[in-house]
Amino acid sequence: LVNNTLASAESLYWQAFIARENILLQKGILSQRKEDLRITEEKYKQQLIPRLDVIRAQAKVEEAESLVVDAESVYRNTLAQLATLAGGDEIVPAEETLLVPSLSIDPEVEKALGLRNDVRSLEIALERAKVMKSLAAKGMAPVLEGSVGYTFLTDSDNTSPAEKEFLFSLNLTVPAYDGGKTKEDVKEKSRTIDAVEQSLAARKNLVEEDVVKALNQWEKAVALESSKRKQLARSDEELLITQLMYKEGMGAQIDLLNAQVDNQKVKTEHLAAIKEMYLALVSLKQAMSQYEPAPAE
């Protein structure tokens, strides 16, 4: 429960962090669209372009404004979820530079099995079941009882032991038959052991699946971020060239609009890829039981 709760908390934290970064991204795009509109209006005033170009540029500004509103709404909703998880306390992500995360843990299945408290609980249950079976098997075992007696002072001649003497006695009881109770008890304990062993094996398989799935999620996110980063570099360069050409009257507005759409799309996808890296890292830490104390030795 602790592991899952804290994993959910960190996941929401990074979602809020990225949502705030997305607001900054969309506001930056909005500023760019407004500057493009200003240039377009200037060109229109000089009768260099048709009125349609101005209308298109205005539409792009309005579209960018709506995306800022959407980004702010997502951020507020994520903060509300964080506050709910924190019992009503307001939590705001720290103001820091967005970095591409690195793999900070060693995702090994065997290590995870040693750290997971759910696995350890089943291992303890199995040990207990084996002890209970061992005790049940002793139901027909001979029982040896011993006693010692000593009479310090007496006025009777028939006292045993005699005055100021010790008496030791041993009593060996060998049960002949207990109606099959011991046999049935052992069978029941064996069935319990089988059930716990199956649960333990299933849990270990689940842990392995959790680790492998989280690691695959991480590797996919890493590959996606790398790809989008390269696309973004090319898109930024293309947009810059297209803007300069349009500003100097050497390019068509349709080329500028296409470059803007592509650049906005790639920027948003790159930010989403970074978010997926953080969420994948949380999944790995959760699979490795990093959010709760290590099981007792």
pLDDT tens digits, residue range 184-210? 888 888 888 889 889 989 989 988 898
183 pLDDT higher than 70:
yes
Mean pLDDT of the chain: 85
163 pLDDT higher than 70:
no
- Strands 143-150 and 166-173, by their bridges, are antiparallel
**Quick one: angle between helices 181-247 and 117-136, nearest 10?**
170
pLDDT band (50, 70, 90) for residue 168: low
- What pLDDT, on a 0 to 100 scale, did the predictor assign at position 3? 76
Q: What is the mean pLDDT of residues 112-119?
A: 81
Residues 6+ apart with CB under 8 A from 118: 203
Q: What is the mean pLDDT of residues 111-120?
A: 81
Which superfamily is assigned to 109-140+182-297 in CATH? Outer membrane efflux proteins (OEP) (1.20.1600.10)
Q: What is the mean pLDDT of residues 87-95?
A: 87
User: 277, 89, 98: which is closest to 81 by C-alpha?
Assistant: 89
Contact 129, 189 (CB under 8 A): yes
- pTM to 2 decimals? 0.74
Q: What would you report as the CA-atom Rg of the chain, rounded to the nearest whole angstrom?
A: 37
Max Cα-Cα span within the chain: 139
Measured between alpha carbons, how far is 283 from 288 in angstroms, rounded to an integer? 9
Question: Can you give the length of the chain in residues?
Answer: 297
Q: What is the mean pLDDT of residues 88-117?
A: 84
Phi, psi dihedral angles at 290 (to 5 degrees)? -80, -10
pLDDT tens digits, residue range 221-237? 999 999 999 999 999 99
DSSP per-residue string spanning 169-192: EEEEE-----TTHHHHHHHHHHHH
- What pLDDT, on a 0 to 100 scale, did the predictor assign at position 247? 83
Phi, psi dihedral angles at 68 (to 5 degrees)? -65, -45
